[in-house]
Amino acid sequence: MATNQHVVMVPWLAFGHPIPFFQLSLQLARAGFKVSFVSTPGNTKRLPKVPANVATLLELVPFPLPGLDNEQLLPPGCEATVDIPSEDVQYLKIAYDLLRHPVKQFVMDQKPDWIWADVIPYWVVEIAEELHVPLAIFSVFSAASSCFFVIPTVLTGGDGRKKSPESLTSAPEWFDFPSPLAYPRFLATGVHEGFYGVNASGISDDERLAKIIQASKAVAFRTCPEYEAEYLNLFEKKSSKEEQAMISSGGSMFKRLTRLCSLGFGSECKLSKEQVQEIAYGVELSGLPFLWALREPDWAASEVDTLPCGFIERTQGRGVVCFGWAPQSEILGHPSIGGSLFHSGWGSIIETLQFGHSLVVLPLVIDQPLTARLLVHKGLAVEIERSEDGSFSRDDIAKALRLAMVSEQGEKLRSRAREAAQVFGNRDLQDTYFNTFVKYLKENGASNQ
């Protein structure tokens, strides 16, 4: 059995991806694997420092993002979705796809035991096949979201039928159990276009995912059966893949629920002026203390312009707005945080539930409506009421925050969130899943072929 196997990690350039890939890389290095984490110089600089005790095993491999000819499709220095408007992500994919060349050379030189890829770099398939390196996919999405989109025929090597926007508004026909997963009408068209639409990169996200999944020996999910066993079983039943259930590295258990609410909307959501203002008025109306991680949006001339006039002054002493990239994981682990208002990004959900926080969700893009539906179905979150056109009101924001954080009828929600911490923050459980994952790697790596 190979010892000190070498794993090459290839995450996508959206921060909900490199962070879990980095956490997994750290765990593998601690387990004695050599890990090469491939990204761009700007992104590797934004990751936490590699601890000294694994610095010889975990290497960040920064490949400069190739320039996109002189059309300046991407402003210089933009290396992640957080740096650009949503409509420019297609150009980031073009630049990212050009990394296939340095990555192929690296794999040729290093001869690793594994390539573990994300859902976007479909070109790793050709590299893995040509250089005979086992390929697998690490899904930073939940098993439920993956089951919703990965059509069974794709899993068995057939063509993925492109679903219609209408079909996204109900649970897929291949779900053999009742499921709340579905998109509200006001998001279905946008999500459909984002996943199935062909963009400037020349290949749609669903085709990228299908190519990688079909060529992968295994699929690893950042989750656990205690939360979504029915979806993990469905995925396994519909595919010949083995799948490893595991959860991200947990933090310390959260002991006390106090009333400070943290707000964050991930790295991909670009909130409009109306949305930011309505959220601000809602937080103000709730009367709750808060900490808001707010990235300055493109439409604001300055940080202060982002918020309603006088908001900072009126909430002085009760709330803090942290502009720019905030240390979210650390904030959530702080004993004064009692709950979170999030966009329902899977990474933030895992980070929140491991501390037993009560959750208020405002899903906006990609898989968020699905992860929100499942959280509400399991009694772990309250979702902000939305109108037909997707808009929401400050009153609904305030009502949901008070229900989740302080009101009597929210006690059941809060106690369920505390119970969820027994799973999402359970190190023993995570170690069990991780050790199963390591055993699989060692028994199926290149040197065992």
Residues engaged in binding ligand AWU (CB under 6 A) = 14-17, 19, 140-141, 264, 266-269, 293, 325-326, 328-329, 345-348, 351, 366-368
Shortest distance (Å) from residue 92 CB to ligand AWU: 14
Nearer to ligand AWU, 112 or 338 (CB): 338
Sort 303 into a burial class: Cβ within 10 Å, 0-12 / 13-18 / 19+: middle
Shortest-Cβ-distance residue relative to ligand AWU: 16
Shortest distance (Å) from residue 352 CB to ligand AWU: 9
Nearer to ligand AWU, 17 or 34 (CB): 17
Shortest distance (Å) from residue 15 CB to ligand AWU: 4
Shortest distance (Å) from residue 437 CB to ligand AWU: 19
DSSP of 315-379? TTTTEEEEES---HHHHHTSTTEEEEEE---HHHHHHHHTTT-EEEE---STTHHHHHHHHHHTT
Q: What are residue 243's DSSP bridge partners?
A: 219
* Cα 224 to the center of its chain, rounded Å: 15
- What is the Cα–Cα distance from 396 to 108, expressed in whole angstroms? 55
Shortest distance (Å) from residue 187 CB to ligand AWU: 12
Task: Please calculate the CA angle 120-121-126 and round it to the nearest 5 degrees.
Answer: 140
Q: Residue 247 corresponds to which amino acid?
A: I
Nearer to ligand AWU, 106 or 323 (CB): 323
Shortest distance (Å) from residue 366 CB to ligand AWU: 4
Sheet of strand 337-342, all strands in order from the earlier edge strand to the far edge:
319-323, 290-294, 260-264, 337-342, 358-361, 381-383
Scanning the structure block, which residue is given the tokens 């990609």?
366
Shortest distance (Å) from residue 148 CB to ligand AWU: 12
Nearer to ligand AWU, 81 or 216 (CB): 81
Q: Is the dihedral of CA 71, 77, 80, 83 positive or negative?
A: negative
Nearer to ligand AWU, 328 or 430 (CB): 328
Sheet of strand 114-117, all strands in order from the earlier edge strand to the far edge:
58-62, 34-39, 6-10, 114-117, 135-139, 218-222, 242-246
What is the token pair recorded at 86? Answer: 């949503």
Nearer to ligand AWU, 208 or 402 (CB): 208
Shortest distance (Å) from residue 410 CB to ligand AWU: 23
Nearer to ligand AWU, 59 or 367 (CB): 367
Residues 6+ apart with CB under 8 A from 411: none
Nearer to ligand AWU, 134 or 149 (CB): 149
Nearer to ligand AWU, 194 or 379 (CB): 194
Shortest distance (Å) from residue 404 CB to ligand AWU: 18
DSSP of 169-220? GS--TT--S-------HHHHHHHHHHHHS--TTSS-HHHHHHHHHHH-SEEE
